[in-house]
Amino acid sequence: MIKVGIVGGTGYTGIELLRLLVLHPEVSVSVVTSRSDVGLRVDMLYPSMRGHMDQVFVTPDLDNLKACDVVFFATPNGVAMLLAEELLQLGIKVIDLSADFRIQDPVLWAKWYGQSHACPELISHAVYGLPEINRELIQEASLVACPGCYPTATQLGFLPLLETGVVDSSSLIADVKSGVSGAGRVAQVTALMSEAGESFSAYAVSGHRHLPEITQGLESVSNQSVKLTFVPHLTPMVRGIHATLYARLVDESVDLQALFEKYYAEEVFVDVLAPDSYPKTSNVKGSNRCHLAVCRPQGGDQVVVLSVIDNLVKGAAGQAVQNMNLMLGLPEDQGLKLVGLYP
């Protein structure tokens, strides 16, 4: 059995990792850490784990993690970079769900995340964990940086258009909505029921920290400069990302439906819906799938792509497990054959 540790086991992505990993046939969750709940049984904090595990939370230090084969970081930004190097030196594979290793330029990372990077020398060794474009690199990696939820939905929608060069990369628009769980399991006014319920609002319009991550990923496949207007919104739902993406065609002869179907034909977790079908967040809730639809309103030169994921699964924990499977030579969908919860 593969011994797995989870650093940061009390947040939404941490408990989602637990939900997936305790049912994974090749995995034994041997360590779950939490600084605030040391000594408390995991199933006392999360009764959904009753009958699945009897571990207690421990401190996130090297002594507790050194026997693991793989360590997941489901922590706030700035934590994984403090421990990753020591774990890697012990031969432990590291999968980071935070943003610590996503952006290749440490100066740019510091600008957007408000702190200096603790181990910039490791950044170049990290593989960006979007399997649909980096599968072979992930298979050989020891350190994987899992994409954010917004970047996952946005990139999966734009990738076929940019890689084939059929749209103008200088005028992309991403209008993206997220459920409140995307903000994490922390107390904040904007996530209160009386604030978020029956309300809908944009935020960080002047610049969101996921923007450079998305731009970096899109430029890596298009091999040209990308200009993206990215506007995130908070919606009154718990889970889900819905991205409405806009681009202008430079090749109006392209069959967009055929392009998307061919591009994702071999991808088990990306489903291109039939023409005139529109994806719903409710149809991917609890699953590791991305549903896509591509449209060309009135047959003009504008392309609209609709992309939906569960922000806690394909946008976080599920994609992390997908990366683990690839890193360890396991079937990519092992432990992830999940049907979405409906309604």
Whole-number pLDDT of residue 272: 98
- Whether residues 74 and 172 share a domain: the answer is no
Report the distance separating Cα 236 and Cα 96, nearest Å: 28
- Whether residues 157 and 304 share a domain: the answer is yes
Which CATH number goes with the domain that contains 179? 3.30.360.10
Buried b (16+ CB within 10 A) or exposed e, 226-255: bebebbbebbebebbbbbebbbebeeeebe
Q: Any idea what DSSP says for residue 342? A: -
- For the chain, the straight-line distance linking the first and the last C-alpha, in angstroms and rounded, comes to 35
Tens digit of each residue's pLDDT (9 = 90 or more) over 37-61: 999 999 999 999 999 999 999 999 9
325 domain residue, yes or no: no
Q: Could you identify the residue written with the tokens 């449209």?
A: 295
Whole-number pLDDT of residue 89: 98
Residue 328 token pair:
């360890």
Tens digit of each residue's pLDDT (9 = 90 or more) over 203-227: 999 999 999 999 999 999 998 999 9
- Whether residues 154 and 70 share a domain: the answer is no
- Whether residues 203 and 77 share a domain: the answer is no
Which CATH number goes with the domain that contains 21? 3.40.50.720
> What is the widest separation between alpha-carbon atoms in the chain?
63
169 domain residue, yes or no: yes
Residues of the chain with pLDDT under 70: 187
Active site residue 295: no
316 domain residue, yes or no: no
76 domain residue, yes or no: yes
State which residues form the domain around 241. Answer: 149-310
- Whether residues 116 and 175 share a domain: the answer is no
- Whether residues 79 and 196 share a domain: the answer is no
330 domain residue, yes or no: no
- Whether residues 62 and 157 share a domain: the answer is no
Whole-number pLDDT of residue 194: 76
Number of compact structural domains in the chain: 2
Report the distance separating Cα 9 and Cα 185, nearest Å: 11
327 domain residue, yes or no: no
* Choice among 68, 119, 146, 149 that is catalytic: 149
Report the half-sphere exposure of 82 (CA within 13 A, side-chain side).
11
- Whether residues 164 and 284 share a domain: the answer is yes
SS3 206: coil
- Whether residues 58 and 162 share a domain: the answer is no
322 domain residue, yes or no: no
318 domain residue, yes or no: no
The pTM for the full model equals 0.96
Whole-number pLDDT of residue 187: 67
Residue 291: enclosing H or E segment and its boundaries? strand 290-295
On whether the CB atoms of residues 143 and 323 are closer than 8 A, the answer is no
- Whether residues 110 and 183 share a domain: the answer is no
- Whether residues 83 and 174 share a domain: the answer is no
- Whether residues 187 and 280 share a domain: the answer is yes
